């Protein structure tokens, strides 16, 4: 079975419930290194995460040295402000081969707020649902996402900027399965300036939720995308509630003349919101990469909430 890959040059995530208090984070980050050769502070990524105290209030920068890390990683909800960083995405790989349950089979699970992932490849041998983008506000920049059926799914409010996607399914494939379930939910997936390539056919999206919301704007779409563009998942009643829009996309797959009649185009004034990071309220939580670090970062019991 093909390996499906989430390749990150930069991936920034903030969970919205409960929010962490960013004002209490320190200017200098606590630095910890992970190195399989034994030359770092830890040999496994999860060990470094486990050492971060519960109710953490300081930026923790975990530098992962090159290698293939066969681990399933979990960042608990009570450990915010963690940055997990490799040096190059093509030589720092986190991989697992679990499959089945969409929650339990994940290679990397992030439950905490203010998480940043950089220069990593996250890989799983599962067949579909590559990226469960479920809760919170997320920003993806310069990423490569490869998958098959519904391979970007969930109900977060997320901006995918300069994201490369390649559907690899041998049969049916959908790029997105967004799960917005009511008009009051401020969630949805936006793809401004992305690039879509691949060898097999796919659609742009289908509704996991009745009010599914997905926007592709200024995106290159190759002929991998079928002319109809979208699917109603066999439920025509959702055609009037879904929010599926395209704006000034280009490429052989961007011709909308044969799109399903219920998909829509955005007007220039309407699209402004979807082209800006303001749609995910980025100014309130996206912070620059730390330039100053504290060492040594002593191991701390998870039962303690204070640094020694």
Cite the active site residues: 129, 150
Strand 195-196 vs strand 164-167: parallel, antiparallel, or unpaired? Answer: parallel
In the numeric block, the tokens 């929650």 are attached to 103
Any bridge partners for residue 32, and if so which?
Answer: 62
Return the bridge partners of 69, or none.
Answer: 94
The CA-based angle 60-72-58, given to 5 degrees, is: 10
Measured in degrees and rounded to the nearest 5, phi and psi for residue 230 equal: -135, 170
Question: At which residue do the structure tokens 């979990």 appear?
Answer: 74
The set of residues, in sequence order, having a beta carbon less than 8 Å from that of 16 and lying 6+ positions away, is: 113, 135, 136, 137, 157
Confirm if 230 and 206 have CB atoms less than 8 A apart: yes
How many other C-beta atoms lie within 10 A of the C-beta of residue 91?
Answer: 13
Question: How far is CA 117 from its chain centroid?
Answer: 9
Which tokens sit at 278?
């303001």
């Amino acid at each position: 079975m093909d390996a499906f890959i989430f390749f990150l040059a930069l991936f920034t995530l903030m969970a919205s419930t409960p929010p962490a208090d960013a004002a209490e984070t320190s200017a200098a980050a606590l630095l910890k290194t992970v190195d399989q050769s034994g030359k770092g502070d830890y040999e496994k990524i999860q060990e470094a995460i486990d050492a971060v105290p519960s109710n953490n209030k300081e930026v923790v920068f975990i530098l992962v040295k090159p290698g293939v890390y066969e681990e399933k990683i979990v960042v608990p909800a009570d450990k915010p402000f963690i940055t997990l960083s490799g040096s190059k995405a093509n030589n720092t790989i986190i991989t697992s081969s679990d499959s089945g349950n969409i929650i339990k089979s994940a290679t990397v699970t992030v439950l905490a707020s203010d998480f940043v992932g950089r220069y990593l490849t996250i890989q799983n041998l599962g067949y579909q649902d590559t990226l469960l983008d479920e809760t919170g506000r997320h920003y993806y920049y310069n990423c490569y996402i490869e998958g098959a059926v519904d391979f970007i799914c969930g109900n977060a409010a997320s901006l995918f900027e300069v994201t490369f996607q390649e559907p690899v399914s041998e049969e049916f494939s959908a790029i997105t399965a967004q799960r917005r379930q009511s008009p009051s939910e401020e969630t949805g997936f936006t793809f401004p300036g992305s690039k879509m390539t691949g060898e097999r056919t796919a659609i742009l999206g289908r509704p996991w939720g009745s009010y599914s919301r997905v926007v592709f704007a200024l995106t290159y779409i190759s002929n991998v995308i079928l002319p109809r563009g979208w699917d109603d998942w066999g439920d025509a009643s959702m055609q009037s509630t879904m929010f599926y829009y395209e704006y000034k996309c280009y490429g052989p797959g961007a011709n909308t003349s044969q799109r399903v009649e219920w998909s829509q185009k955005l007007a220039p004034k309407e699209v402004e919101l979807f082209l800006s990071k303001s749609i995910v309220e980025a100014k309130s939580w996206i912070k620059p990469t730390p330039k100053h670090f504290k060492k040594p970062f002593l191991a701390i019991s998870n039962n303690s909430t204070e640094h020694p």
